[in-house]
Amino acid sequence: PGYIIEHAVKGMMPKTRLGRAQMKRLRIYSGPEHSMAAQKPIQANI
């Protein structure tokens, strides 16, 4: 499911240098375990 979300988000991003920079910062975790607990990530129910 991670590839599907990444592909959908990439299609919505601008096709410029800024869009590529934002895609580099995108992190998608497909399981409950992740290393970003201190950043308080939001969960998207799919």
Q: Is residue 26 in a domain?
A: yes
Find tokens 């979300």 and name the residue: 5
pLDDT tens-digit readout, 6-21:
999 999 999 999 999 9
Q: Tell me the whole-structure pTM to 2 decimals.
A: 0.67
Residue numbers of the domain that contains 9: 2-39
Work out how many domains the chain is built from and give that number.
Answer: 1
Q: Is residue 46 in a domain?
A: no
pLDDT at site 19: 95
Q: How confident is the model at residue 46 (pLDDT cuts 50, 70, 90)?
A: confident
Q: Is residue 8 in a domain?
A: yes
Q: Is residue 22 in a domain?
A: yes
Q: Is residue 15 in a domain?
A: yes
